[in-house]
Structure 1
Amino acid sequence: MTLTKDQKLQRVMDDFNLFSKNFIHIIDNQNDKVKLKLNQAQVELNELMDNNKFVACAKARQGGISTYVLAKAIWRAVTNENENILIVSYRRDSANALFEKLKTMNEWLPREDYPEWFPEIKRENREELLFKNGSRIKSVSSGNKSIGRSETYSFIHISEYAFFQNQEMQLMSAEQALAKGHQSRLSIETTSNGMNHWYHLFHKAMKGDSKYKPYFIPFYHELYKKQFKAEYDEAEKWFYEYHKGERLKPKDLKEEEKQLYEQGANLKQLMWRRWKLQDLSLNDFKQEFPSNYRESFISTGLSVFDQSIVLERMNNTIPTLSADEVEPEMPDVMKKYVNKGLNVFYLPKAGKRYYMGCDVSAGGGGDYSAMAIYDEDGQQALTWQDNRTPVYRFAEIINEMGILYNDALVVVEANSYGTPLLERLRNEYQYMNLYKQRTFDQRGRKKMQLGFVTTSSSKSILISDYKENFERGLINVECPDTLGQMQIFVELDGKSGNKKGDKNHDDLVIANALVTQGMKSGQFYV
């Protein structure tokens, strides 16, 4: 059946991919005006956005995501009546740049050729395009005001969200301004900017604990083969010159390059990576051109732990044991936490010694109580954290888990709530394998007291020992949550702790560090 001209046009107008290919024009890297043929990342993101109301995109540089979103906004505005679309950027100049790009796309639509298909502009100003079909596209900067205040939008896009002030409040107001219909969409795209609300949002999305569907673009994505072709060619030429006319071969790859090669980076991209590393530190490269989403959040400068080692460990951890494997072995008090705060990597083995570190909180919903268990070889076996467990219940948990792991040596931080917890372990549960700290009184008499008392000087030793054990490979950390806290553990004004923020915690770091003190002590009372 032969389609009429109008039927063909209708098919193109109904399909965003065809619409962009036929009617959206952009300026490419060669400064030429070309039609927008969606790259692979744009195609993948478009499919995700077609099927999900909330989408979060973390990206390397120059992925073309903003271009895609602007084209999508125009498509929705011209093909539907009364669309209300909002595009938000973090600064006025960036908002202006995006809006100018959008207006240029709109001006290049073939209105004269197809006036019945492309509505005219009724009003145009610095931050708004109003179409005669009632649709509107508005571009604003985030500033300090709530996004979308007193209005309802069918499509909201937030650009460079990681650089916003008051991120959580701004996003909440945007979500409230989003229409409740099936076709309403809210998308976020941004490069990373350290450990902030965006970090927590995207991390939860990757774990499947969020309404946002995540999308990540690594530096070796298919789209960059065309996007960075000129740089790739220049990097290859450089490689030839300094390697006697030889091209990079798989057998010549360094350890980290081998992993990237297995993940999908081709040899040309790896030559380009070496070329870029002439002018960038490895950490800077990973921030600008990450190979996985964790690398984009790398924190340097004030970090206590070597971030390159933390990231390498993150990329090589093993999965937790399944609930079917864990639940039959767990005491009743722990069954509800399986894969919900309790991550088990290894069950206890007969004849092995185990060491447990415990950071104690009040259990009122603020700070977390945390536990980590390692075997005598330094292999992490288990972690647990929860912010609702009272001290008396935590004492029961420690007792049961200590017994399960072959009467593990338990190291409890003795400050604050740790003191009553230790009293319960000793007096109520008669748990005997408890770490004792050697101290001296003012007369020089030695005494042993239960638990590890944290002072400014002893905390320095605690963290320094843990850092050394981790970075020298004397212990093996498997828990992604622990490693995530190690990403934001910093030293500032002579004090170490989590990078400031409502959702930043260091309880797992402390629990793991306490384990190293138990191993170092040589104590074992059972």
Structure 2
Amino acid sequence: MGLSKETAQKLKYLWEDGHEIEWIETFIKIVNKDTKLVPFILTPEQKKFVEELVKYGIVLKSRQLGISVIIIALSIRQCIVYPNSNCLLVSHDQKSCNAIFDKLKQQFNSLPMWLKPKENANNRQEIKMANGSKISAVCAGNKDVGRGDTLHLVHLSEFAFWKMPEKQLNSITQALAPDGKLIIESTANGLNYFYNLYFQAKNNENSYKSFFFNWIDGSTLFEKDYENSVEIYKAKNNNELLKVEELNDEEKELVNLGATMEQLMWRRLKVASGGLDAFHMEYPSQDIEAFISTGANVFDNKRITEVQRSIKKNNYIPKNNITDLPLELQKFYGRSFFIYQIPQVGQKYYIGCDLSEGVGLDHSVVEVFSQDGEQVAEFYNNKVKPYQMAEIINMIGRYYNKALLNIERASGGNSCIERLRYNYKYLNMLKQKMFDERNKAIWRLGFETNSKSKNIIINDFIELFDTGAIKINSLRLLQEMQTFVINDTGNMGANSGSHDDCVMGTALALFALKDGRHYKW
């Protein structure tokens, strides 16, 4: 019997790109937590993920939010809508691989008989379809993963737990079809390659689009868990519920993020059984708290997380609200340059500059602090050449009441100092008293960084941060502080694969602030 015109139009609509959600909700069923087979109705988090998915995606998530499940559904749709497709689901161990494949088979078998392609093979590793498509589920570390294939949808599950992730990712990426999609998804597992990839994506420093899904917004999947936790909490607390006045500071911040009292009672039971650090890693409320640091960290990770939690996204002043910003700075605003507080009349400002050669590797950074210890502006860019940075520093310095500049004499710093003094006639720059080979005192512009001087300025930074003497407004700076460590040789710097340019720029600014001098100009 032929299809009605209405049915044919609906099928045509569902087969078009952009209607993935409707296709999945129409044809696929899943087993819910009550073990019942039900239509796959996506959660808000799953819908957001599907709607915003691009060629390269990286997902940091709380546990059990159903991201793997929706990726399985997308792979099934890919193989049916586009015959001869090849989808690859890679897990970090055999147990996870088996679980993924079981969910794949369940979803595939739930398809209407008229829609489900005939299977040429269905084993513990792959489903091969008569239309030429296949979906494979394998373990990370298999040397044949992706070899010789052209892949149209790839899911790398719990990527933070992989061994040699960078090497394997490079191999799989080379097999990706021009119109294929690669999705990296994981809970956190410390400061590793996944951490670097995620925050690079968040900062628009690589090809990936970052997604973060916290445990608070995923409440629809845990309603019964919350109900059970309320009863357990009451049984342990004289039949009393948790009250607002009993909340600690972190719980109050979670309420501001949307947490309910039921969720907080569930959280308290989780923390009591597994510890706060483990909860932050598996059930983060904000991305930065998910990454548990080691004892080698220089800065207090707990305080970093508390500060980060207090900062709103896009907390810099909107460009349209700044009327006197120089034209050259306007083109960088919102991408490389951010202002958190405009200059105040009579206020003194201090600027630290850690400069690179502008060849796409390390960043040139300008950090601006007020005399009260508040970070008021930040500039970072890894493509601007030193001679261009001199012009930018000149404009930022003059904009902030002819701020005192402290520029590191390394990499692009020396040439910037020369241009600022002689081309731009910038006179308010920090000087260091040094002694030549004849023990004659000489004054040199800028800051000489060596192991001794670096330890001094970093330890000053640590003290000011720990004691609450400074206010940090940059999320990027906090991310760098989180990965600033002492290595095996006793040297301080960024963890492998991370940056410390903002940390050093801030340390230089705070050194100038602590020195307190301003030269008459």
TM-score range, shorter chain: 0.7 to 0.9
Specify the alignment match of 1:496 in structure 2. Answer: 492
Q: Give the CA deviation at 1:397.
A: 2.9
Kindly tell me the number of residue pairs found equivalent between the two proteins.
505
Distance 1:452 1:81, change over 3 A: closer
| Farther-moved stretch of structure 1 (469-478 vs 276-285) | 276-285
| Farther-moved stretch of structure 1 (511-520 vs 341-350) | 341-350
Matched, 1:372 2:372: no
Distance between the aligned counterparts of 2:290 and 2:128, measured in 1?
Answer: 37
Specify the alignment match of 1:158 in structure 2. Answer: 156
User: Are the counterparts in 1 of residues 61 and 187 from structure 2 also a CA contact under 8 Å?
Assistant: yes
Counterpart selection for 1:20 from 16, 22, 28: 28
User: Are the counterparts in 2 of residues 29 and 227 from structure 1 also a CA contact under 8 Å?
Assistant: no
Q: Give the CA deviation at 1:328.
A: 3.9
Counterpart selection for 1:259 from 253, 256, 271: 253
Q: Give the CA deviation at 1:237.
A: 4.0
User: Are the counterparts in 1 of residues 366 and 505 from structure 2 also a CA contact under 8 Å?
Assistant: yes
Structure-1-length-normalised TM-score = 0.83
Q: Which runs of 5+ in 2 are unaligned?
A: 16-21
The one-letter amino acid paired with 1:524 is H
Q: Deviations over 1:313-361 (max 9, x none)?
A: 223336222333447422x543432223111222222211011111122
Q: Give the CA deviation at 1:162.
A: 2.8
Q: Where do 1:86-165 residues align within 5 Å? A: 86-103=88-105, 105-106=107-108, 109=110, 116-143=114-141, 145=143, 148-165=146-163
Specify the alignment match of 2:281 in structure 1. Answer: 287
Specify the alignment match of 1:44 in structure 2. Answer: 47
Specify the alignment match of 1:433 in structure 2. Answer: 428
User: Are the counterparts in 2 of residues 298 and 487 from structure 1 also a CA contact under 8 Å?
Assistant: no
Q: Deviations over 1:232-285 (max 9, x none)?
A: 355434533554432112333222212211222110111122222224443332
Q: Give the CA deviation at 1:205.
A: 4.8
Matched, 1:271 2:273: no
| Farther-moved stretch of structure 1 (131-140 vs 370-379) | 131-140
User: Are the counterparts in 2 of residues 42 and 68 from structure 1 also a CA contact under 8 Å?
Assistant: no
User: Are the counterparts in 2 of residues 146 and 169 from structure 1 also a CA contact under 8 Å?
Assistant: no
User: Are the counterparts in 1 of residues 90 and 137 from structure 2 also a CA contact under 8 Å?
Assistant: yes
| Farther-moved stretch of structure 1 (203-212 vs 277-286) | 203-212
User: Are the counterparts in 2 of residues 146 and 170 from structure 1 also a CA contact under 8 Å?
Assistant: no
Cα RMSD over matched residues?
A: 3.5
Specify the alignment match of 1:73 in structure 2. Answer: 75
Q: Where do 1:386-425 residues align within 5 Å? A: 386-415=381-410, 417-425=412-420
> What SS class does the counterpart of residue 278 from structure 1 fall into?
helix
Counterpart selection for 2:317 from 321, 324, 337: 321
The one-letter amino acid paired with 2:265 is M
Q: Which runs of 5+ in 1 are unaligned?
A: none
User: Are the counterparts in 2 of residues 146 and 173 from structure 1 also a CA contact under 8 Å?
Assistant: no
Specify the alignment match of 1:519 in structure 2. Answer: 513
Counterpart selection for 2:213 from 208, 212, 217: 217
Q: Where do 1:182-193 residues align within 5 Å? A: 185-193=181-189
Distance between the aligned counterparts of 1:200 and 1:81, measured in 2?
Answer: 36
User: Are the counterparts in 1 of residues 229 and 266 from structure 2 also a CA contact under 8 Å?
Assistant: yes
> What SS class does the counterpart of residue 15 from structure 1 fall into?
helix
Structure-2-length-normalised TM-score = 0.84
Identity of aligned residues (%): 35
